[in-house]
Every structure is written in C-alpha cells, then in structure tokens.
C-alpha cells in the first residue's frame, strides 16, 4: 500500500526511481509522464530510457509539488504552462482558456473558406490559438485578433512571437468584441469561440473548468448573449459574401442556426467535431 501525505498526495522521496512513481501515483500514465517531464526537465525519450533514474532531493521536491497541484485538480496545462493546439505549442496561464482539440474544427473550417490573401479576425482570442494557427497555416492571409483582456493579449502576442515564422503575423487589438475594430473594417471571415456555457451549468464547478477564467467560459446568462452580439454586428464588418463561424456548446446548434436564419444569413449550417457533436455553426452574407 502506498504512503500518502496528510492531504492524500503520495509521498515522493529522494531515492525513489521514476519507474516506481507509475505504481505509486493515482494518475493516468500519459498525464503523469507530462508532469514528470515538466518537473524533471526530461524529454519524453529521456524519461522512457532513464526509468531507473534515482530521484535527488531537489527532484523529489519538484515532483511532489506538481503532483500535489494536479491532485488538487489544477489543470495540467496550467502546471506545465503549455498546451499543444493544431500542432503548435501554446503558452497558457490562468488568464486564458486552455485550447481544446474540438476547437481545431473552427480552424479547419476557417482555412477552407479563407480566400487567397483574405482577411480574417478572431474575436475573443484568449491565448491566440485560433488566430495564430490560421496565420501559421496561411502566411498569405491577413489575420487580426481581439480580446477585452490585456493580460490575455499579452499571452497571445507571446504565442504569436514563438509560433510564427517567416513573415507570418497576427495584428492584435484590445476591446470588447467589435469595439476593438476600426470602423469601416471589412473581413472575408469572422471567427470566434465565445463564452457559451450557461451560468447555471454545474460543469463550471467541476474539473479543469474551476481553474479557468470564468468570463471566458460563461456570459453569466444563458450562454447565447455573446452569439447575439457576434451575429447582429457581423454584417457591418464582413465583406459581401463574407462568413461568420462560431464555436458553441453541445446543445446550442439549433438555437444558433435559428439566430443566423432570423438575421438573414445564407447557407446556415452546423459542423460536427470528431466526437460527432455539432460544435461550430455559421452562415454567409449575400454577395
């Protein structure tokens, strides 16, 4: 039976081997590997090939710290400070939402619809994941990104600087939704992953969501108010034939499509993520 501390965290001491931690720590092996790589400064290959490495005092303390944080529920991405998205390493802090695999669908759709040399803006960019991924894949595009949070934009700029090469770039603007854009700006495409969780949703008080910025998760009402703003004001910033694409909750596609149809968008539809959930909806303006 493993020895635990007073808070239930497994006791990690100098003299233990890396291999022994996989039977001691109640975490899934892939997650534990990521945390050990971070705590020890080992690469994935080194962690595997040095499984009999004996921990020093300093290493045992570092491992104990990250394990205690994770077992208290803190997201792995906030502990390591990194989350991969669209094949790129994004810095993340508690000031931004952690990029999630399902959001890659929004990037896929944007890349497929953005014309050569096109203009796209990501509203409410957070870590910059969507905008930076688009810019990385489409160096010909003109990419803008906005956020109301100055701290979020600092992180997004850092991610753009570290991920983008050879002339790829994102232009950042601070402000609330369309207020960040210059009047008269016109885009081929507007994309957004707005806060869409209903304020009464119990998931806000569970798991990783407890640690993420609340304002990036919920609009503090029914989860659809940000969609209303995006849909209502997009025509003033889209070119003729331009498109609006928005990520939303697992049960919101019908409501979002209705809003788009009511506002006279054309070709309104929803797209499913890899789990088969309608995750993104959008429409286009008349030509």
Binding residues: 124-128, 147, 177, 193-196
Which residue positions form the known binding site for substrate? Answer: 193-196
Binding-site positions for S-adenosyl-L-methionine read 124-128, 147, 177, 193
Quick one: angle between helices 57-71 and 29-40, nearest 10? Answer: 140
């Amino acid at each position: 039976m493993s020895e635990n501390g007073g808070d239930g965290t497994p006791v990690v001491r100098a003299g233990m081997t890396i291999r022994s931690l996989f039977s001691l720590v109640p975490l899934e092996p892939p997650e534990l590997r990521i945390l050990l790589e971070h705590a020890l400064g080992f690469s994935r290959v080194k962690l595997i090939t040095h499984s009999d490495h004996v921990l020093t005092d300093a290493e045992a303390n570092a491992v104990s710290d990250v394990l205690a944080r994770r077992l208290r529920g803190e997201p792995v991405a906030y502990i390591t400070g990194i989350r991969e998205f669209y094949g790129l390493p994004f810095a993340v802090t508690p000031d931004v939402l952690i990029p999630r695999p399902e959001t890659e669908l929004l990037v896929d759709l944007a890349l497929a619809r953005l014309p050569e040399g096109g203009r796209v803006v990501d509203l409410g960019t957070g870590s910059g994941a969507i905008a930076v991924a688009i810019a990385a894949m489409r160096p010909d595009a003109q990419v803008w990104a906005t956020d109301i949070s100055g701290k979020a934009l600092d992180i997004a700029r850092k991610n753009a600087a570290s991920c983008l090469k050879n002339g790829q770039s994102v232009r950042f603007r601070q402000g609330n939704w369309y207020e960040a854009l210059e009047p008269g700006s016109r885009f081929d495409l507007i994309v957004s992953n707005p806060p869409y969780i209903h304020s009464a949703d119990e998931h806000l008080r569970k798991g990783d969501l407890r640690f993420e910025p609340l304002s990036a998760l919920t609009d503090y009402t029914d989860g659809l108010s940000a969609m209303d703003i995006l849909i209502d004001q997009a025509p003033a910033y889209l070119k003729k034939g331009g498109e609006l694409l928005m990520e939303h909750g697992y049960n919101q596609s019908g409501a979002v499509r209705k809003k788009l149809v009511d506002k006279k968008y054309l070709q309104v539809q929803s797209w499913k993520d890899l789990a088969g959930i309608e995750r993104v909806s959008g429409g286009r303006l008349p030509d």
